[in-house]
Amino acid sequence: MISPEKTHAEYLDTILAHHQHNANNLLQILIAAQDVHGYIHSDAIDHLSEQMALPRSKIEGVAGFYSFLHLQAAGDYRVLFSDNITDRMAGNIDLMKSLCSQLWVEPGKLSEDGLVCVGTTSCTGMCDQGPGMLVNNIAINHITAERINAIAELIRERVPLSAWPASFFAIEDNIRRRDILLNSQIQPGAALKALLARGDNATLQEIKTSKLRGRGGAGFSTGMKWEFCRDAAGDAHYVVCNADEGEPGTFKDRVLLNGYADTVFEGMTLCARIIGAKQGFLYLRGEYRYLLPHLQAVLQKRRGQNLLGTSILGHEGFDFDIAIHLGAGAYICGEESALIESLEGKRGTPRNRPPFPVTHGYLNCPTVVNNVETFASTCLIAINGGAWYAGIGTETSSGSKILSVSGDCERPGLYEYPFGVTIAQVLAECGAQNTQAVQISGPSGVCISANEFNRRIAFDDLATAGAFMIFNQTRDMFEVARNFVHFFAHESCGFCTPCRVGTSLLSNMMDKLADGNGSPYDFAEIEKLNVLLQSTSHCGLGHSACNPVLNTIEKFRPAYDKRLAHKDFIPAFDLDRALSQARQMTGRDDTGAHLESSHGSK
């Protein structure tokens, strides 16, 4: 690409002006700066530091937190294979090896000519059309051996990404079952008009009556959250839409943002009217960056329709607009307080709570953070009323839930059901056969086995943010858990000791079992680690990091037992194997050069 020397001020000044030199936009500035050269040049940081009056250490500290930002040259082509378990099941590792061998590179290492780097990344949210990958942060799905050959050729020939076949970048919605939300065809402005006709308080009351609960997984009452925020004192109030859909196996927000963006933005505007916010943010995960032009266009259209901006729909004082902030590869930013830190241009470290965002959120002001699906659902309630909504679903879980179905089934994609649907019904409708297990709500959720398939999707039974990953009888549930544990270790923010170190210890223990060095001792260690992480971790990531292992040990014990070759403790360290390097260097391979023979026994 372009020679970086001495040209930084030119492009950076444009970026800085666009972001008002505002430190709260540091992450957005760094993302834009990286686009120019594929990494953030050291001289570029000098210029940013000077222009923004920020210490270099702060800028590097922020950049160093996010997986998609690079402080060293990372290749003109940065290829990241999505590494969720569903990608694994679809053969992503072999495909990555094939690409690496065709390009003569090692995974994770920049090629000597600086052309390309190939590696893995956490789930890219394309599990219904995997295996997936990101090339320079743009998604490509349905990776096949043929597609890998073509990509290798395109990279070798240095064809710019914009000239790659458009079919590579096609992304499907795969909506398989529609209910109240996915069937809705809300005219832009309809929900806002309903709100303005009914009144702010009355509309809030409808949302409370609807018993709508947050769709991001935690299930807090949306009406109460909005009311708390409205009643909290602060210089300003903010609305934030959490579109950092990072939980492996979840992809419903991607489809909502693609096909129902108007409804999502309208839900945010309803909230703004009720809590008295002038500014909203949509925090879009970096993996969904391809959606950005579409979302910007919808926002622009809404401004033109007077559904955003000043005096919305002619109501003086009803001023609200929405900015989109991009993430850059950090699962933890889906946690609401970490998301707010990231919105403020900082490292995505979860805050100490209380206080909660409803009183101390963005810039320490009262802030509502809701999931994409939650905001969209509020439009249905504004139009149809709370009682109507509360009549759908179950007593504790009103309305509908969109499931992101992936894994071993004939028809992966989105399935919207009223709450209360059984697992068995979902499995039947998506064409799953010989199902061994379903992972509900991703790695941080719960793994259920065949004798539990009569359980229901509901807050008081199987609560979920939407992920629904299916594993048939041929799958090794140990490898499922190991994949999830590695995910948590990769995504731990590193703030607190138990999660930072504990998730890595857990990964190492699972690798030890995978290597055939497991013993009952290791099981006891995992149990102890779980108690420690549950009781001392700073946030939910640490609390749930052991869940996949404990769940699968409990329900799929044979998958572990076959790896327990030893009754007694076996260390992970193999002394004889460690000697192999010395043997190679000395050219010896006699019995005296082996531990077992020299010591008689192992």
Partner 1 sequence: MDQNKTFTLDGKTIPYTEGQTIIQAAIAAGEYIPHLCFNPEFKPHGSCKLCTVKANGRQTASCTQQPTPEMVVESDTQELNDERRALLQMLFVEGNHFCPSCEKSGDCQLQATAYELKMMSPHYNQFYPDRPVDSSHPEYLLDFNRCILCSLCVRASRDVDGKNVFALSGRGIKSHLIVNAKSGQLADTDFCDADKAAHVCPVGVILKKRVGFATPIGARSFDEQPISATPHPQGACPVCPRSDAATLPPHPKSRGA
| Shortest distance, position 350 Cβ to partner 1, whole Å | 10
Stretch that binds partner 1, among 29-37, 60-68, 85-93, 407-415 (CB under 8 A): 60-68
- In order of 65, 94, 424, the CA distances from 125 in angstroms are 21, 20, 24
Stretch that binds partner 1, among 49-57, 116-124, 151-159, 232-240 (CB under 8 A): 49-57
Which residues from 275-334 bind partner 1, rule CB under 8 A? 330
Output 133 or 541, the one with its CB closest to partner 1. Answer: 541
Residue 138 pairs in a beta bridge with 135
Stretch that binds partner 1, among 59-67, 183-191, 237-245, 445-453 (CB under 8 A): 59-67
Among 20, 42, 144, 300, binds partner 1 (CB under 8 A): 42
| Shortest distance, position 352 Cβ to partner 1, whole Å | 5
3-state secondary structure of 175: strand
3-state secondary structure of 518: coil
Taking residues 514 to 553 in sequence order and writing x for each that binds partner 1 by CB under 8 A, - otherwise, the string is --------------x--xx--xxxx---------------
Output 65 or 260, the one with its CB closest to partner 1. Answer: 65
Give me the residue label for tokens 């490509």.
140
- In order of 40, 293, 329, 369, 565, the CA distances from 26 in angstroms are 13, 21, 15, 21, 52
Inter-axis angle of helices 200-210 and 372-384, nearest 10: 110
CB atoms within 10 A of CB 333: 32
Which residues from 65-124 bind partner 1, rule CB under 8 A? 65-67
| Shortest distance, position 546 Cβ to partner 1, whole Å | 14
Q: How far apart are CA 394 and CA 392, in angstroms?
A: 7
| Shortest distance, position 4 Cβ to partner 1, whole Å | 15
| Shortest distance, position 397 Cβ to partner 1, whole Å | 27
| Shortest distance, position 110 Cβ to partner 1, whole Å | 17
Among 352, 451, 581, 586, binds partner 1 (CB under 8 A): 352
Q: How far apart are CA 40 and CA 26, in angstroms?
A: 13
| Shortest distance, position 145 Cβ to partner 1, whole Å | 33
| Shortest distance, position 552 Cβ to partner 1, whole Å | 22
Output 352 or 454, the one with its CB closest to partner 1. Answer: 352
Q: Are 284 and 28 in contact (CB under 8 A)?
A: no
Per-residue b or e along 239-257, where b marks 16 or more CB atoms closer than 10 Å to that residue's CB: bbbbbbbbbbbbbbbbbbb
Which residues from 475-504 bind partner 1, rule CB under 8 A? 489-498, 500-504
| Site size with partner 1, rule: CB under 8 A | 43
If one asks whether residue 347 binds partner 1 (CB under 8 A), the answer comes out as yes
Output 240 or 539, the one with its CB closest to partner 1. Answer: 539
Among 167, 474, 573, 581, binds partner 1 (CB under 8 A): 573
Output 66 or 415, the one with its CB closest to partner 1. Answer: 66
Nearest to 212 by CA among 387, 11, 455: 387
| Shortest distance, position 488 Cβ to partner 1, whole Å | 9
If one asks whether residue 360 binds partner 1 (CB under 8 A), the answer comes out as no
If one asks whether residue 9 binds partner 1 (CB under 8 A), the answer comes out as no
Q: Are 138 and 169 in contact (CB under 8 A)?
A: yes
Stretch that binds partner 1, among 56-64, 296-304, 407-415, 582-590 (CB under 8 A): 56-64
Stretch that binds partner 1, among 17-25, 54-62, 363-371, 547-555 (CB under 8 A): 54-62
Output 387 or 531, the one with its CB closest to partner 1. Answer: 531
Among 505, 550, 579, 595, binds partner 1 (CB under 8 A): 505
Residue 81 pairs in a beta bridge with 120, 133
Q: How far apart are CA 381 and CA 370, in angstroms?
A: 15
Q: Are 208 and 198 in contact (CB under 8 A)?
A: no
Q: How far apart are CA 276 and CA 65, in angstroms?
A: 33
Among 18, 56, 294, 315, binds partner 1 (CB under 8 A): 56
Among 7, 23, 24, 58, binds partner 1 (CB under 8 A): 58
CB atoms within 10 A of CB 530: 19
Output 126 or 332, the one with its CB closest to partner 1. Answer: 332
Output 157 or 573, the one with its CB closest to partner 1. Answer: 573
Output 286 or 498, the one with its CB closest to partner 1. Answer: 498
Give me the residue label for tokens 């937190």.
65
If one asks whether residue 470 binds partner 1 (CB under 8 A), the answer comes out as no
Output 9 or 175, the one with its CB closest to partner 1. Answer: 9
CA 507 to chain centre: 20
Which segments of 408-485 are extended strands (E)?
413-418, 435-440, 446-449, 467-472
Structure tokens at 274: 């009720």
Structure tokens at 303: 């401004």
3-state secondary structure of 443: coil
Q: Which helix (H) or strand (E) holds 220?
A: none
3-state secondary structure of 141: coil
Output 456 or 490, the one with its CB closest to partner 1. Answer: 490
Q: Are 134 and 121 in contact (CB under 8 A)?
A: yes
- In order of 190, 241, 365, the CA distances from 279 in angstroms are 21, 11, 12
Angle at 98 between CA 92 and CA 99, to 5 degrees: 90
Output 279 or 537, the one with its CB closest to partner 1. Answer: 537
Q: How far apart are CA 558 and CA 501, in angstroms?
A: 28
Output 56 or 315, the one with its CB closest to partner 1. Answer: 56
Q: Are 412 and 386 in contact (CB under 8 A)?
A: no
Output 206 or 344, the one with its CB closest to partner 1. Answer: 344
Nearest to 410 by CA among 396, 399, 389, 426: 426
If one asks whether residue 60 binds partner 1 (CB under 8 A), the answer comes out as yes
Output 66 or 478, the one with its CB closest to partner 1. Answer: 66
Q: How far apart are CA 341 and CA 187, in angstroms?
A: 34
List interacting residues with partner 1 (CB under 8 A).
42, 45-46, 55-58, 60-61, 63-67, 330, 347, 352, 489-498, 500-505, 508, 528, 531-532, 535-538, 572-573
